[in-house]
């Protein structure tokens, strides 16, 4: 459950800008289920269950019968990663569902300014350093998840996965830099 008493308006840029050049992920570019699973660190069975129970449904394209492919947006991938982290810390799926319902209406920029804390039962949303201090002084927070950190992880690994446009258009091929090439070579041996 997200504690609404800790939610205030968002002041600009307290945790820094994730997209400093004002470029947001293209809302028509998505990732199929298997790639979404790898990016979020979950199983396909979890992904399928969460889609069927409407915990997180793909916002670009849903499956329409046998053979059709779901297409998950950047924001969907972020929410999947948050769900996985909350599950890993022992939060119940019921409480995660409440937190996700609360976060669903936010834009990508707004999510980058959120830090989630939990005491193992309740999930609290903080959007400023003052809220974090208040929460910790009250003894409620045990662990936290900086949404911007999850975003940076996802952003850093997206180039490794095949993407497609919902409108069938061509994707721009990202320019790979030397550092990315070195990291990839180090991971693959």
pLDDT at 177: 63
Position 91 in a domain: yes
Residues of the chain with pLDDT under 50: 1-23
pLDDT at 19: 41
Number of domains in the chain: 1
Residue range(s) defining the domain that contains residue 102 = 4-8+28-167
Give the CA distances from residue 113 to residues 13, 128, 159, in Å, rounded to whole numbers and listed in that order: 7, 8, 24
Position 119 in a domain: yes
Give the CATH number for residue 144: 1.10.1660.10
Torsion of CA 32, 37, 38, 40, to 10 degrees: 120
Position 51 in a domain: yes
pLDDT at 17: 41
Position 21 in a domain: no
Position 16 in a domain: no
Position 99 in a domain: yes
Over residues 11-66, the pLDDT tens digits come to 333 333 444 344 456 677 899 999 999 999 999 999 999 999 999 989 998 877 77
Q: What's the mean pLDDT when you consider all of the chain?
A: 78
pLDDT at 23: 47
pLDDT at 123: 84
Q: What is the DSSP string of 23-57?
A: PPPPTTEEEEHHHHHHHHT--HHHHHHHHHTTSS-
């Amino acid at each position: 459950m997200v504690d609404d008493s800790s939610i205030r308006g968002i002041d600009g840029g307290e945790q820094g800008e994730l997209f400093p050049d004002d470029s947001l992920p293209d809302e028509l570019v998505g990732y199929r289920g298997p790639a979404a699973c790898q990016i979020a660190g979950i199983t396909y069975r979890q992904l399928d269950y969460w889609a069927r129970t409407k915990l997180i449904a793909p916002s670009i394209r849903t499956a329409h019968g046998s053979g059709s492919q779901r297409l998950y947006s950047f924001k969907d991938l972020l929410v999947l990663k948050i769900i996985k982290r909350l599950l890993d810390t022992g939060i119940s799926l019921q409480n995660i569902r409440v937190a996700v319902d609360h976060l669903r209406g936010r834009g990508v920029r707004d999510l980058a300014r959120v830090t989630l804390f939990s005491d193992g039962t309740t999930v609290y949303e903080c959007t400023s350093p003052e809220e974090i201090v208040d929460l910790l002084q009250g003894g409620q927070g045990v662990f936290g998840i900086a949404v911007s950190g999850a975003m940076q992880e996802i952003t850093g690994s997206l180039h490794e996965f095949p993407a497609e446009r919902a409108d069938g258009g061509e994707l721009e091929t990202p320019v790979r830099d030397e550092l990315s090439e070195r990291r990839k070579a180090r991971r693959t041996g």
